[in-house]
Amino acid sequence: MASFFKCTPWHSAGKWLWPIVFASMLCACLFPGWATAVRAQTPDDSLYAVLFLGKDDREVYLNDLRFAFKTLINDYGYTKENVIVLKRGGLFLDLDGDLLDDVDYSATKANLDQAFTDLQAVMTNNDVFFFFATDHGYWSGSDCNDAGLEGYEGEDIPEEDLVSYVDRLDSPTCRIVKILLFVTCGAGGMIPEFKALDTPLMIATASTACEIAHYDDDDCQHAPTSCNYTAYSFWWFSALHGSHPDGTPVDADKNNDGSVSIYEAATFARENDEYVDEDADHIEHPLYWDSNCLCGRTTTLNGVLPNLPALIAFPYPCHGPWPCRWNTERCPWPRQGSAERGIEGPIAASASAASR
């Protein structure tokens, strides 16, 4: 049975299963608490991540990496071997307090390419992939949709390359569940490129196109709670960790099912981000988008679907044995969010010039 779930072509399951698929999707919509993942500390070698910090290793970005790394390892069962960390010049950095170096590569375009090549060789159907980028991004063009990351020594990593890296994790018979979080300037401009992929994908960004992603590492007057972290990532990881880094508890479990989904984390982060404030001097409008009706509400960082009846768990469209090919046109239910409107309400660009 285990081998069937690895890389079985969708058509081999047989037409008789499609009524079960539809019934499962309907049940998941009617009872969303049945299909939301929970935290688990048991190591799981089906979970993989890439954490990227490009050209600036100021403490606020190092704190982002530490919070992300410890949440993945301690709360969701990622193994250190499966978490690839790229940081500026590749110098020593202990992310979890064990006095060991957790950095794998310097943050160059070639090394990021290599990281995805390494993962492509080992990942298989329904494995979970998480990508987190903090530090600097850029945008250009009249609509600000030519966007990307800045790597070590200011090297540009365009969105086209990032999309290509993510896309090649899949194969004709294997679909990887992908969760992407960007807290870099102008990151929302990359969403249209990612939307074109035919893959199970969730993407959250701290900012729209043409917009700066914010943090407070000065006097902490504007963002006293998230001070010394990028604001959006602070609240996003707090939601999934269940507390702030200092242990102050938070509750992002909106449907009270005992776990926090990616959609709930994105919603919670947007609601608490100190820079989502029309009266603030500096404004950001976080965005969230996913590739089908259910993935964001039924997925967390480890992709586990707990306590599901076999009828529902077996053919589940985001995590089942078949490629996840549900898109906007084929999706029978209203979408959770979109790049055009964010999670809730209209958005507005706050700048028009290119940013670094």
* Range with lowest mean pLDDT among 92-96, 133-137, 139-143, 149-153: 139-143
Distance CA 183, CA 215 (A): 10
Query: Which of residues 116 and 143 earns the better pLDDT score?
Result: 116
Residue 228: per-residue pLDDT: 95
Q: What is the mean pLDDT of the chain?
A: 77
pLDDT digits (tens, 9 = 90+) for 159-192: 999 999 999 998 877 778 899 999 999 999 999 9
Q: What is the pLDDT of residues 62-74, one digit of tens each?
A: 999 999 999 999 9
Cα–Cα distance for residue pair 255/297, rounded to 1 Å: 10
For 188, the token pair is: 């929302």
Pairing of strands 83-87, 137-140: unpaired
Q: What is the pLDDT of residue 40?
A: 54
Amino acid sitting at position 79 = T
SS3 percent helix, strand, coil of the chain, rounded to 5, is 30, 15, 55
**b or e along 66-78 (b: 16 or more beta carbons within 10 Å of the residue's beta carbon)?**
bbbbbbbbebbbb
Identity of residue 251 = D
Secondary structure letter of residue 187 according to DSSP: G
Q: What is the pLDDT of residue 17?
A: 37
Please say if the pLDDT value at position 229 is more than 80.
yes
pLDDT exceeds cutoff 80 at 7:
no
Cα–Cα distance, 158 to 150 (Å, whole number): 9
Give the whole-angstrom CA distance, residue 123 versus residue 131.
14
H/E element holding 133?
A: strand 128-134
The Cα–Cα gap between 237 and 266 comes to 9
- Integer CA distances (angstroms), 100 to 94, 107, 226, in order: 6, 19, 27
pLDDT value, residue 176 = 86
Q: Exposure of 345 by Cβ count < 10 A (0-12 exposed, 13-18 middle, 19+ buried)?
A: exposed
Cα–Cα distance, 295 to 28 (Å, whole number): 10
What is the pTM for the complete model shown? 0.79
The pLDDT, as a whole number, for residue 290 is: 86
CB 207 within 8 A of CB 284: yes
pLDDT beyond 90 at 16: no
